[in-house]
Structure 1
Amino acid sequence: MSGLSAIERDLVDHVRAAPMLARTERWVAINSGTRNLAGVAAMGATLADAFAALPGDVALVAPDAVDSVSTEGEVRAIGHGHHLHLTVRPDAPVQLLFTGHMDTVFGADHPFQQARWLDDGTLNAPGAADMKGGLALMLAALEAVEASPVADRFGYEVVINSDEETGSLSSAGLIARAAAGKRAALTYEPALPDGTLAGARGGTGNFSIVVRGRSAHAGRNPDDGRNAIVAAAALAVRLAAGKDDGLSVNPARIDGGGPNNVVPDLAILRVNFRPRSVDAIARADTLLDEAIAAVTAAHDVAIARHGSFNRPPKPIDPGAERLFALVAAAGSDLGIPVSWRATGGVCDGNNIAACGVPVIDTMGARGGAIHSADEFLIPDSLPERAALSAVTIHRLVTQGLS
């Protein structure tokens, strides 16, 4: 660590003494599946207490309203948990953003609820890597910088949302407001087990397409009916055929139907798009419009489209390249190899980049098998990655991204 300044060596010592693993173990014991609103509330309150160790104002912010299409084809409001928002020194000359999420993909009734230590020394627990370990090391890094001589030279906002795993629909506005005017942002999704970071990301869009036909007796007068299931299936086939190198299309589910002797008059097609560019979003929009029009005419049904492209693609632009270079240099001075590669996954880093703010969105712990009962955290990565964050923050404040 010969390339580190005296202040940076003190930062490393500070984070190594932080109780990151103990915090992580406490936090993974709280089920905070996105739809478990009681569990998310408990997690939010716990995090608010922990982040109150930092100066500034901590608040639990009400979610924005979000609609969802039910299996009956009705548009209904869907509940979300509150989001943690911390603002520190908003008038300081350098402003940064730090984001993470408190929710997991494991609901209150999911069998994966308990932490256990594996023989290889990793921690198998719900949300250990994605991302309660990341939240613990984010807090440790900020506590270390707050104890350093550069603390009064920068301000920041922390957003920890409760709905990242379902698309951040109720927190996207809060993230966009917090991103405004920031020099850079760090998000604490997990790195890969070998430490590789995510570089460019594609975007995503999720749609529920409601098809309304006409019911009839399947034996006596089927031709008087308009089969919504058949129309939805035809729509799924048309959309799937529209994929190309820059756009993947996944018709994932059709809800609807009923007794075998009734022509079904309702179906809801759920489909996911993964565009790699803004141009691909435009192509997907055209594909949707043309496919809906064609199926409407061919099957004499009514079709309503619900949903949006909620995460734009995240390219590696010049600002992101400079931020990656700064993090790589910090890693080199710490003896931590830093590399990155493109990924098809999406996260809040997509939304932040769309605001014009350079962001690295895998500054969290090293781990793997996320979104499964095999999820694991590599404990030694907590002090390692907290040190990387602390030195990165120090250099963003003292050197910038020039």
Structure 2
Amino acid sequence: MSGLTPEEQALIAPIERAPILERTLEWAAINSGTTHLDGLAAMAAKLAEAFAVLPGEVRLAEPVPVEKADSEGHMRAVAHGRHLVVSVRPEAERRVILTGHMDTVYAKDHPFQTCDWLDEDTLHGPGTADMKGGLSLMLAGLAAYERGNPTLGYDVLINSDEETGSLSSSALIAQLARGKMAALTYEPALPDGSMARARPGSGNYAAIIHGKSAHAGRNPQDGRNAVVAAGDLALKLAAGRREGLSVNPARIEGGAPNNTVPDLAILHFNLRPRTPELAEVAQAMIDAAIAEVAAEHDVSIHLTGGVSRPPKPIGSETEALYGLVSQAAADLGQAMRWKDTGGVCDGNNIAACGVPVLDTMGALGGSIHSPDEFLLASSLDARARLTALVMHRLDRQGITL
């Protein structure tokens, strides 16, 4: 750590692994799957209590109403948990935003509910890497930063719906991100310290297809088969894959008894454009495929959804932010690499506001979104030190292009 000034060494010296790990274990024991509202409420209460140690206002923001197509093709309200917001020195001229999420992919009744140790450094457990450990180390890093005569203002946003696209929090993300000099998001890094660079966009859609029912034996020619139309639409959309654009028809709902021509089907699909230009290409492709299938099968098709995560390209300001963070990591003796990824997160939404963002500041870990999820405990205090040092250097020197 020879690259650290005496002031920086004093700043990070009090950071210890044990309290960060203890908090991570406590939070990972709370099932906070996106649809488990009671679990999210319990998690939000724990977070509000913990983040109250920072010298700012802590509040819980209500989710924006969201609707989703149900299995019968009707739009239904989807309930979400509240989002935690912490505002520190809102009057400061220079401000940053730090974000994370309290929800996990593990439903209330998912069998993966407890933590255990695979070895002395590898903690196996639900949400440990993604991202209860990241939230815990973020708080430790901010608490350390606050001991160093800080002047930088910042907002912390921890939402409850990141794992399903942040539909009820995207407006809040945009509101808090605008005008910030930089953003740090606490998605997990890979076990070797690799961090996400450019990300594609992501859109989730549901095409609701209405045909016409008829008897499958007596007069099938009078029917308009919505399931066949859905299958045709899935094939046409899949054929639109190209370099920089993935298209994934994921599920078809609907149908009817075997003796009835089905008059309803719902095709759910996801697409991921690498660039804003490809997002426009994808939308044109969807529109063309829907028009063609509707005409060929004499059905009506109503499309819901859209690109909720814009593509995240890398500009000069983001390169400069990464330079600051990677130098801080090097001065701390931490390995760090930066590479493009196929995943998406709230960093996409922040980048769309014109704010440079580094979105894998969390714990090192892997096998996320699976019963094999794990984090490396040694990264908890290491990444907390990185957070404190990055905040301190953003405060003292800003971002130099």
TM-score (norm 2): 0.99
Taking every aligned residue pair, what percent have the same amino acid on both sides?
A: 59
Q: Look up the SS of the partner of 1:210 in the other structure.
A: strand
Q: Cα deviations across residues 215-271 of structure 1 (Å, max 9, x unaligned)?
A: 000000000000000001111111110111021100000001021000000000001
Q: Look up the SS of the partner of 1:135 in the other structure.
A: helix
Quick check: 2:347–2:359 contact (8 Å CA) kept in 1? yes
Instruction: Tell me what 2:378 maps to.
Output: 380
Instruction: Tell me what 2:393 maps to.
Output: 395
Q: Look up the SS of the partner of 1:192 in the other structure.
A: coil
Q: Return the offset for 1:142.
A: 0.4
Q: Look up the SS of the partner of 2:267 in the other structure.
A: strand
Quick check: 2:200–2:273 contact (8 Å CA) kept in 1? yes
Quick check: 2:58–2:84 contact (8 Å CA) kept in 1? yes
Instruction: Tell me what 1:295 maps to.
Output: 293
Instruction: Tell me what 1:277 maps to.
Output: 275
Instruction: Tell me what 1:202 maps to.
Output: 200
Determine the C-alpha separation between the residues in 2 that align with 1:109 and 1:30. Answer: 12
Alignment of 1:215-254 (within 5 A): 215-254=213-252
Quick check: 1:327–1:338 contact (8 Å CA) kept in 2? no
Instruction: Tell me what 1:141 maps to.
Output: 141
Instruction: Tell me what 1:191 maps to.
Output: 189
Determine the C-alpha separation between the residues in 2 that align with 1:18 and 1:122. Answer: 14
Quick check: 1:366–1:378 contact (8 Å CA) kept in 2? yes
Q: Return the offset for 1:214.
A: 0.3
- Whichever residue aligns with residue 82 of structure 1, its letter is R
Determine the C-alpha separation between the residues in 2 that align with 1:119 and 1:193. Answer: 14
Q: Cα deviations across residues 353-391 of structure 1 (Å, max 9, x unaligned)?
A: 000000000000001100011100100000111111111
Instruction: Tell me what 1:96 maps to.
Output: 96
Q: Cα deviations across residues 111-144 of structure 1 (Å, max 9, x unaligned)?
A: 0001111135311110000000000000001000
Q: Return the offset for 1:18.
A: 6.7
Quick check: 2:197–2:339 contact (8 Å CA) kept in 1? yes
Q: Cα deviations across residues 262-316 of structure 1 (Å, max 9, x unaligned)?
A: 0000000001001000011101110111001101110000000000100011111
Selected match of 1:304 from 298, 302, 309: 302
Quick check: 1:18–1:140 contact (8 Å CA) kept in 2? no
Alignment of 1:299-338 (within 5 A): 299-338=297-336
Determine the C-alpha separation between the residues in 1 that align with 2:162 and 2:241. Answer: 26
Instruction: Tell me what 1:166 maps to.
Output: 164
Determine the C-alpha separation between the residues in 2 that align with 1:7 and 1:171. Answer: 37
Instruction: Tell me what 1:115 maps to.
Output: 115
Q: Return the offset for 1:337.
A: 2.1
- Kindly report structure 1 stretches of 4+ aligned residues shifted beyond 4 Å: none
Instruction: Tell me what 2:85 maps to.
Output: 85
Q: Return the offset for 1:11.
A: 2.0
Determine the C-alpha separation between the residues in 1 that align with 2:74 and 2:55. Answer: 45
Quick check: 2:17–2:380 contact (8 Å CA) kept in 1? no
- Whichever residue aligns with residue 41 of structure 1, its letter is A
Q: Cα deviations across residues 77-105 of structure 1 (Å, max 9, x unaligned)?
A: 10000000011111112201000000000
Quick check: 1:89–1:154 contact (8 Å CA) kept in 2? yes
Determine the C-alpha separation between the residues in 2 that align with 1:18 and 1:96. Answer: 28
Instruction: Tell me what 1:12 maps to.
Output: 12
Q: Return the offset for 1:16.
A: 2.4
Q: Cα deviations across residues 42-77 of structure 1 (Å, max 9, x unaligned)?
A: 000110000011111101110001010001000111
Q: Cα deviations across residues 310-338 of structure 1 (Å, max 9, x unaligned)?
A: 00111111011000000111011111122
Q: Look up the SS of the partner of 1:237 in the other structure.
A: helix
Quick check: 2:68–2:76 contact (8 Å CA) kept in 1? yes
Determine the C-alpha separation between the residues in 1 that align with 2:137 and 2:55. Answer: 17
- Unpaired segments ≥5 residues, structure 2: none
Q: Look up the SS of the partner of 1:343 in the other structure.
A: coil
Q: CA RMSD in A?
A: 0.9
- Whichever residue aligns with residue 104 of structure 2, its letter is T
Quick check: 1:203–1:312 contact (8 Å CA) kept in 2? yes
Q: Look up the SS of the partner of 1:15 in the other structure.
A: coil
Quick check: 2:17–2:378 contact (8 Å CA) kept in 1? no
Q: Return the offset for 1:163.
A: 0.2
**Structure 1 residues 293 and 345, CA gap change in structure 2 (3 angstroms):** same
Determine the C-alpha separation between the residues in 2 that align with 1:274 and 1:17. Answer: 38
